[in-house]
Amino acid sequence: MAEHFDPATLRQWWPKPATPRPIVIFGAGSIVGDAHLPAYKKAGFPVAGIYDPNTEKARELAGNWGIKAFASENEALAIKDAIFDLATPPSTHAAILSKLPQSAAVLIQKPMGSDLAAATDILAICRARQLKAAVNFQLRFAPMILALKDAVERGFLGEIVDFDAWLALATPWGLWPFLKGLPRIEIAMHSIHYLDFIRGLIGNPLGVHAKTIGHPNHDVAQTRTAAILDYGDRLRCVLSVNHDHDFGRKFQACEFRISGTKGAAYIKLGVNLDYPRGEPDELWIRPAGGGEWVPVPLQGAWFPDAFANRMANLQRFAASEDDVLIGSVEDAWQTMALVEAAYQSSEQPATPLAPLPGM
């Protein structure tokens, strides 16, 4: 007999560690104040302090949250039994990882380096130093995504056969000044979340067809992407991403549609709409057996709650309370390989149309 669908029973939170370790944050950018610190405070995770080469910036952010700003990198590295949180630009990850204590636990800001070659270097460093290292692909840990995955694993959608990601919105790229001049932006910095989530939900694709381009109204390298992930003949997976739909909120969108052989799900990623203030996330499921679409009452949001769930898994893995480190560098490297394949596909010429036959 099929299980009765009760949205209130879907899992939305990761268990907390029994004894959270102190967190040492490298980097004092906007994402730390917008997501990391609010998440850790809400979850009750202790933050030992923040280090940033821009000491004034670190002091200001630390002062706003009543925590310590480390005077030096060595002071930050010396915190005993710390969980290191690298909220740093991708070009700096490898240098910091090389200085962490042997076998330390560390969360690395996505992406895992600037490209696949850098990701491979990071993987080698983590292996050599035996780091318990994960990449902060925290979308997998958002309450709506945990609930969706639980619904899929319990059979409420059947076999997933269709995945659509549709984004038409206005992203304030100016919030991240370190992006200026970088050759890879949209897929490497934004849609990488969706590619990682898709991998976590339905596995690695056979390959990818993609095109990513900029926009004449600004100088960000790429802000628009179209991609097809090849899963063979049973599953269709498509992403349409436009960060330049800047014509008012009315027809903007940021959503996933996931269809199975027995049921379907709809997700609205609210934080991207009017970022960073955002709107509420939404999850709707039409479960196996028919009936109406059912809203899932969400107990939290992607920002900041996914960051707390992500950290909880790393903390628990470091304490041997979790057997699996989700989004480990070994797994995250495969997301980087998918990103690399998408960029390589984008650089390839399209198949030209046949010419009109002559008379």
**pLDDT, tens digit, for every residue of 231-264?**
999 999 999 999 999 999 999 999 999 999 999 9
Cis peptide before 276 (omega within 30 of 0): yes
CATH hierarchy code of domain 16-137+308-342: 3.40.50.720
pTM over 0.85: yes
| Interval 165-194: pLDDT, tens | 999 999 998 888 878 888 999 999 999 999
- 16-137+308-342 and 140-302, same CATH topology: no
CA 351 to chain centre: 32
Domain ranges of the chain: 16-137+308-342, 140-302
**What's residue 326's pLDDT?**
98
Residues with pLDDT less than 50, the chain: none
Q: What is the pLDDT of residue 107?
A: 98
Q: CA of 294: how far to CAs of 150, 178, 264, in Å? A: 15, 42, 10
Q: Which residues contact 40 (CB under 8 A, 6 or more apart)?
A: 23, 46, 47, 307, 308, 311
Q: How far apart are CA 85 and CA 255, in angstroms?
A: 29
Q: Which CATH architecture has domain 140-302?
A: 2-Layer Sandwich (3.30)
